[in-house]
């Protein structure tokens, strides 16, 4: 990776979306859109059209309770079906006549049908369909589920099975990438997903997990060598390396766990993962270091009461909602112990401007978002690109009425789940959750990157390198 950065260019502070959590963040990378456009509101949200909770978290107990059938259908069919509203890079690239490949990336929606074969252990469980069809790019490999890119001579169960997350681990991705590179069989656009660092960082923290990154580095080296060496590979192929979010260390102390169900015990709560009941007042949808709170009857009094109750917990950082819930007018409110800040988009250049050229009007306590303004230019010290990122999820109809974030070192925990005490987590608005490097080298890659970058810019960067048009350009303000 260091060699790629030396031969190309590296940006060290690319900002993720909010919530900075995998299902929504990987959707943004592959679409170039915020949740308000692509429709994936986090790891957990209430789907009002189906009157059910969409859940893509890592809490095994919830999956087990609801049944693997529902989980498989949600992941394979809905996340990459009607829940995904924006076109993916796989669709955009292949509509131009180019080819695309997906190696274990979670968001794979495309136009080519592929048959799903569920692993025997999973297929034997009640409620799980044995086979199904999904639509993805021309070359699609999803562990043991879809094997269009399986290396020659490699059986899926050799790198798959329960111990290897059914073939969705780094060893499987590395084997497929090396095989395709060695056969000069990479598509015009190929995405290879290495997820182990995220899993291990959750357990032991990002610094202790660095050996996982070293293994990814070795896997990339093996793929380059199979293709004749890095220099030869980069003559005709551009490489982009990035992440969908950062990782914030979680303190090794049980006191860092925020139980929102207990904090909001005065309100009647829907069961996690279940639809509304007649008596319910609120529904909590966890997103690790962030959470959405749906309010059945969102009166101004209810919103203020919930915000006040949540902020009594010392681990809560911010409470965020849309202005229209407590007063007329557009825009958003951020409440912390430091006070309250309100902001809204403005089309006039007379207003304050963020680093991507977006115009905003704001008032209130700047400390809520560590906001500084130099002339007309906005700078968010600890919460990068905060205005645009907040708007990017709260503008989604399926967004909860209230979003809550945790202070660094803290994490939300749900009944039956388990916080990553002593490990790491993400999901919040803070820089620790949100910043990732971007390395670009080879092929027709640009020799410079913008001074400010977002994971939102990866898709237009890919399209620019391929010489293809997209509705967005790198570092454009989003409205």
Yes or no: say if 371 and 385 are a contact pair by the CB < 8 Å rule: no
Query: Looking at per-residue confidence, does 339 or 71 come out higher?
Result: 339
Is residue 118 pLDDT above 90, yes or no? no
**pLDDT greater than 80 at residue 73:** no
Which has more pLDDT, 280 or 119? 280
pLDDT at 71: 64
123-127, 202-206, 268-272, 341-345: least confidently modelled range: 123-127
Least confident of 24-33, 124-133, 268-277: 124-133
Q: What is the pLDDT of residue 156?
A: 40
Share of the chain above pLDDT 90, in %: 76
Among residues 465, 458, 420, the alpha carbon closest in space to that of 436 is found at 458
Q: Could you count the other beta carbons within 10 Å of the beta carbon of residue 367?
A: 12
pLDDT at 415: 79
Is the pLDDT reported for residue 385 higher than 80? yes
Of 192 and 351, more confident: 192
- The four Cα atoms 388, 389, 393, 394 give a dihedral, to 10 degrees, of -60
Calculate mean pLDDT across residues 322-344: 95
* Listed range (109-113, 168-172, 381-385) with the worst mean pLDDT: 168-172
Q: Comparing 40-49, 160-169, 307-316, which segment has the lowest mean pLDDT?
A: 160-169
pLDDT at site 149: 55
Q: pLDDT tens-digit profile of 449-467?
A: 999 999 999 999 999 999 9
Per the listing, tokens 């086979």 go with 131
Query: What is the pLDDT at residue 152?
Result: 45
In this structure, of 65-69, 245-249, 265-269, the range with the lowest mean pLDDT score is 65-69
Find the range with the poorest average confidence among 159-168, 249-258, 290-299, 408-417: 159-168
CA angle 30, 180, 137 (to 5 degrees): 35
Q: Which pLDDT score is estimated for 75?
A: 75
Residues 295-317 have a mean pLDDT of: 97
Grade residue 130 by pLDDT with cuts at 50, 70 and 90.
low
**CA–CA distance, 304 with 112 (Å, rounded to integer):** 49
For position 327, what pLDDT does the model report? Answer: 87
**DSSP codes joined into one string, 214-270:** HHHHHHHHHHHHHTT-HHHHHHH--EEE--S---EEB-SSGGGEEEHHHHTTTS-BP
pLDDT confidence of residue 128? 60
What is the reported pTM?
0.94
Domains of the chain: 2-247+435-465 (3.40.720.10), 254-425 (no CATH)
- Band of the pLDDT at 67, cuts 50, 70, 90? low
Give the integer Cα–Cα distance in Å for 222 and 233. Answer: 12
Q: Is 87 exposed, middle or buried (0-12, 13-18, 19+ CB in 10 A)?
A: buried
State the Cα angle at 99 between 9 and 459, rounded to 5°. 40
Q: What is the pLDDT of residue 70?
A: 64
Mean pLDDT of the 333-353 span: 92
162 has a pLDDT exceeding 50 = no
What pLDDT score does 349 carry? 73
Task: Give the model confidence (pLDDT) of 406-441 as tens digits.
Answer: 999 999 998 767 899 999 999 999 999 999 999 999
CA distance 425 to 129: 32
What pLDDT score does 155 carry? 42
User: What is the pLDDT, as a whole number, of residue 274?
Assistant: 80
CA-based nearest residue to 458, from 32, 33, 15: 32
| Confidence band, pLDDT 50/70/90 cuts, at residue 329 | confident
> Is the model's pLDDT at 119 over the cut of 70?
no
Residue-averaged pLDDT of the chain: 90
């Amino acid at each position: 990776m260091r060699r790629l950065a030396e031969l190309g260019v590296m940006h060290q502070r690319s900002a993720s979306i909010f919530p900075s959590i995998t299902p929504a963040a990987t959707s943004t990378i592959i679409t170039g859109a915020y949740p308000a456009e692509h429709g994936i509101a986090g790891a957990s949200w209430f789907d009002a059209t189906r009157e059910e909770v969409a859940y893509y978290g890592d809490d095994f107990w919830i999956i087990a309770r609801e049944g693997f059938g529902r989980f498989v259908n949600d992941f394979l069919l809905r996340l990459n079906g009607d829940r995904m509203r924006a076109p993916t890079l796989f669709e955009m690239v292949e509509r131009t006549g180019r080819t695309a490949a997906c190696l274990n990336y979670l968001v794979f929606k495309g136009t080519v049908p592929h048959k799903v074969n569920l692993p025997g252990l999973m297929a034997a469980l009640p409620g799980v369909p044995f086979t199904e069809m999904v639509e993805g790019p021309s070359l699609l490999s999803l562990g043991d589920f879809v094997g269009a890119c399986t290396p020659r001579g490699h059986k899926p169960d050799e790198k798959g099975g329960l111990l290897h997350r059914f073939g969705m681990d780094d060893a499987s991705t590395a084997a497929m990438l090396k095989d395709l590179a060695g056969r000069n069989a990479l598509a015009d656009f190929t995405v290879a997903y290495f997820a182990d660092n995220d899993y291990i960082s959750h357990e032991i923290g990002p610094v202790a997990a660095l050996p996982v990154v070293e293994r990814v580095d070795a896997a990339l080296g093996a793929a380059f060598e199979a293709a004749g060496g890095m220099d030869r590979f980069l003559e005709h192929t551009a490489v982009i390396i990035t992440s969908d979010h950062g990782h914030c260390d979680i303190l090794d102390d049980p006191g860092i766990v925020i139980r929102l169900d207990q904090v909001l015990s005065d309100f009647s709560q829907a069961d996690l993962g279940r639809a509304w009941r007649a008596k319910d007042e609120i529904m909590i949808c966890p997103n690790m270091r962030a959470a959405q709170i749906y309010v059945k009857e969102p009166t101004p009094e209810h919103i203020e009461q919930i915000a006040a109750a949540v902020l009594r917990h010392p681990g809560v950082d911010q409470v965020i909602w849309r202005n229209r819930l407590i007063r007329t007018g557009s825009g958003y409110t951020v409440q912390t112990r430091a006070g309250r800040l309100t902001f809204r988009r403005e089309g006039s250049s007379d207003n304050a401007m963020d680093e991507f050229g977006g115009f905003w009007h704001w008032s209130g306590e700047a400390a809520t978002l560590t906001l500084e303004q130099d002339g007309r230019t906005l700078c968010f010290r600890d919460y990068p690109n905060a205005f645009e990122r907040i708007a990017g999820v709260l503008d989604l109809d399926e967004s909860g009425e209230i979003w809550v974030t945790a202070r660094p070192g803290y994490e939300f925990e749900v009944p039956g789940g388990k916080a990553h005490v002593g490990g790491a987590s993400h999901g919040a608005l803070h820089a620790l959750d949100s910043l990732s490097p971007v390395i670009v080298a080879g092929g027709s890659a640009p020799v410079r990157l913008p001074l400010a970058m977002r994971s939102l810019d990866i898709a237009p960067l890919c399209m620019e390198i391929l010489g293809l048009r997209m509705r967005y350009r790198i570092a454009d303000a989003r409205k």
